[in-house]
Amino acid sequence: MTAPVAHPGPDGVDLVLDTDVLVLGGGPAGTWAALAAREAGAAVILADKGYVGTSGATAPSNTGALYLPDPAQRAALIAKRWPGTHGLADRAWLERTMEISFRRIDQLADKGYPFPVDETGQTYRANLRGPDYMRFMRKLVLEAGVRVLDHSPAQELLVDGEGTVAGAAGYSRQQNQRWRVRAGAVVIATGGCAFLSKALGCNVLTGDGYLMAAEAGAVMSGMEFSSVYGIAAAHASVTKGLPFFWATLTHEDGSPVEPKGDRATTIASAHVSGRTVYAKLDKADEAMRGWLRRSQPNCFLPFDRLGIDPFTQRFPVGLRLEGTVRGTGGIRLTDETCATGVPGLYAAGDAATREEIGGASTGAGGPNASWAIATGALSGAAAAVFARTAGTGRALRAIGGAGLRPSDGGSAIAADEVVRAVQAEMLPPERNLFRTGAGLDASRDRLDGVWTEIAARPLSGDPVRVREAAAMAATARWIVASARQRPETRGINRRTDRPLTDPDQARRILSGGLGRVWARPVPETTVTRSGVPS
């Protein structure tokens, strides 16, 4: 394997590089993929929309991880979590994720990651403090010889004449230049889509990887499991839900808020009826208050800045959509190497469907963090192997469509206008959380209209935002189509007109397409030995 090589660029492209493996996305999954590919001997380039080490949902947060050395602990966790998957997870993937997460977290310790030490001198390895973790991962990838392109979002994939993915092209924000990387294989680890809801760390997560993968022929799975809303103080973007376990919820007049399921659903129900909800964390005793402040320090910064004591003073609360960042929808994986079914293309982390471990429910912090570690490591290693078989000197073509190459021309549409139109369907709980068949049909028609316009006409605005707008529109259409194909309530797919779970619908929903979006259940004949669709 050779080191990344630079070449003179064609017209309009300022930086051209060759490498073995190109990783798109610099969060946990992307950095683990880059490390694994280097361990396998590949030359690696990692391109991120932000600055590797600070961008994405993990960097500003504190997250747990599955660190379970004892097989009995792992079996107990699977038994505990299995009912919540509603029959759509895969036990083999759960076991694989825990094993790889355990080994890779030990690798972090061996490399010198500063895990906390308890009073007995034992390190506590089931928690990763986001800023330290991602700063450490940046250090590791640079030490490993990975070339990092910061502030350089990928915008489209490159394929050869056989349709094999062989690189990507993008835009460097700080250099204001176009880049193109030819690669033997590509890993998409660009995260999920939160539709620019302003949830902490999520505003760089706009479904870019989904769109690029779909343009190459990849398929989505579980996109209906995307309506996760995080609870936040109305004045803040931090959506950590843990402190709200100790919250009393009241209306403007001080009367208690009637529970409507979980806390997010309760708050959403009140908002839909036009009422503001206030919270006070007064159920936490003194010891718990101290623990919460130590374990979740970023949750309390917004209160401290405004002089609010959330344990004794009530404050208005809101909801911020976390979409597939916390839901389970994403690019379908076809095997344990994180292949996508498109030659040369792999997916990891939130970009890949997490149905394998979460089924119909959100995985939550620990499982999601471990999924990023495991799929990152698996995809990077597999991409390195694939790259060894990839031919050189192939003629490549860029395959990006909407936002880059309008089919008809005409007057431009402002990208921000497209974003607002998509958000109007995805952000309001009355449309995306409390779903109905009629409501989904109406959203489908409006989103189809948006897509028809942006596929045909140029988009104006920031060169990164125009592609984000297209990716958000595509993602929203797969979500709506998949939810329409699941006329039941299962996990985080809630249908107010179909409130019951139908045992006959314990199958995954695949979706795809761009001009004509489709969604369909996985045929029974593809059910695997582990009891779930492949």
Beta-carbon contacts of 414 under 8 Å, excluding residues fewer than 6 positions away, are: 459, 460, 461
The pLDDT of residue 8 is 53
Of 5-9, 106-110, 316-320, 349-353, the one with minimum mean pLDDT is 5-9
Average pLDDT over residues 315-343: 95
Residue whose structure tokens are 């998949």: 482
Q: Which residue has the tokens 């996985």?
A: 522
What the block records as the tokens of 354 is: 């997490």
Indicate the average pLDDT of the chain. Answer: 92
What pLDDT score was predicted for residue 10?
60
Whether residue 530 has pLDDT greater than 70: no
Please state, for a pLDDT cut of 90, what percent of the chain lies above it: 77
- Which residues partner with 233 through β-bridges? 317
Q: How confident is the model at residue 13 (pLDDT cuts 50, 70, 90)?
A: confident
- CB within 8 A of 479, min separation 6: which ones? 223, 224, 226, 329, 426, 432
Report the side by side order of strands in the sheet with 248-250: 229-233, 315-321, 277-280, 248-250
Q: Of 71-75, 408-412, 473-477, where does mean pLDDT reach its minimum?
A: 408-412
Which of 23-27, 59-63, 401-405 shows the highest mean pLDDT? 23-27
Of the candidates 517, 412, 397, 515, the one whose C-alpha atom is nearest the C-alpha of residue 465 is 412
Residue carrying the six token digits 């590089």 = 17
The answer to whether the beta carbons of residues 48 and 152 sit under 8 Å apart is yes
Would you say how long the chain is, in residues? 534
- Residue 2 pLDDT > 70: no
Q: Which of 135-144, 302-311, 466-475 has the lowest mean pLDDT?
A: 302-311
Contact 271, 429 (CB under 8 A): yes
8 A C-beta contact, residue 323 and residue 193: yes
* Beta carbons within 8 Å of 418's beta carbon, 6+ residues apart: 450, 453, 454, 459, 469, 470, 472, 473
Confidence category of residue 294, pLDDT binned at 50, 70, 90: confident
Determine the Cα–Cα distance for residues 248 and 164; give it in Å rounded to an integer: 55
252 backbone dihedrals φ, ψ, rounded to 5°: -55, -40
Rounded to an integer, what distance in angstroms lies between the CA atom of residue 36 and that of residue 376? 8
Report whether 342 contacts 217 (CB < 8 A).
Answer: yes
pLDDT tens, 170-213?
999 988 999 999 999 999 999 999 999 988 888 889 999 999 99
Q: Is residue 127 predicted with pLDDT exceeding 90?
A: no
What average pLDDT score do residues 44-69 get? Answer: 89
Residues 32/377, Cβ–Cβ less than 8 Å: yes
Is-contact 348 188, C-beta < 8 A?
Answer: yes
Q: Looking at residue 8, what DSSP letter applies?
A: -
Long-range interactions of 443-452: CB distance < 8 A, separation 24+: 443/476, 443/480, 444/477, 444/480, 444/481, 444/484, 446/421, 447/422, 447/473, 447/476, 447/477, 447/480, 448/477, 448/517, 450/418, 450/421, 450/422, 451/402, 451/477, 451/514, 451/515
In whole angstroms, give the CA distance from residue 205 to residue 51.
14
**Contact status, residue 474 vs residue 514, Cβ threshold 8 Å:** yes
Distance CA 307, CA 323 (A): 31
For residue 527, the model assigns a pLDDT of 42
pLDDT band at 63, cuts 50/70/90?
A: confident
Q: pLDDT confidence of 393, banded at 50, 70, 90? A: confident
